[in-house]
Amino acid sequence: MRRIIACFAVVLILSVAGLSACKNGSADVTYKNGVYVGKSGEDDRGAYGEVTITIESGAVADCVFVTWQKDGSIKDEDYGKVNGEISNQDYYDKAQLAVAAMADYARQFVAAQELADVDAIAGATIAFGQFEEAVIDALDEAKE
């Protein structure tokens, strides 16, 4: 019985520690003022996300999120075009949904101050994962 209780206690402690580590605004973590850049890993097509976070008075004052294609080009209003033209409207619309979501993720993060409170947008979940990774990377640099 003691082993069961001991195992349960360890699981509970690890669970609580894991949850608090995800919250960037927890009481245990403070951030240095400054501008911090974080990057995500590459997806299966070689694209990655990058955030630039500005910390003022220990809080997130600004966040900019962009994603880059494998060839080094930014995913912007041309993302989803082929040779500068929209050859497949459905593909282009989906690509542009992801571009719009990038700005929304950054806005949500500044408003909520908590990464856990940023909602993923259907159709832009790969960008959401890249956003999460990049924010965690940047905030690791900002920790005091």
- pLDDT digits 0-9 by tens, 109-140: 999 999 999 999 999 999 999 999 999 999 99
Whole-prediction pTM? 0.78
Is 3.90.1010.20 the CATH number for 30-142?
yes
What is the chain's mean pLDDT, rounded? 85
For 132-143, the pLDDT digits (tens) are: 999 999 999 999
For 86-101, the pLDDT digits (tens) are: 999 999 999 999 999 9
For residue 29, name the pLDDT band (cuts at 50, 70, 90).
confident
Number of Cβ atoms within 10 Å of the Cβ of 81? 15
Q: Among candidates 129, 28, 119, 107, which has minimal Cα distance to 60?
A: 107
Residue 3's identity, in one-letter code, is R
Between 2 and 64, the more confident residue is: 64
Residue that is written with structure tokens 């408003």 in the block = 111
Between 4 and 45, the more confident residue is: 45
Q: What is the pLDDT of residue 27?
A: 54
Q: What is the pLDDT of residue 109?
A: 98
Q: Distances from the Cα of 46 to the Cαs of 22, 52, 68, in angstroms?
A: 26, 20, 9
Residue 17 is classified by DSSP as H
Q: Among candidates 111, 107, 124, 117, which has minimal Cα distance to 51?
A: 107
pLDDT exceeding 90 applies to what percent of the chain? 79
Between 91 and 11, the more confident residue is: 91
Between 55 and 144, the more confident residue is: 55
Phi, psi dihedral angles at 141 (to 5 degrees): -70, -30
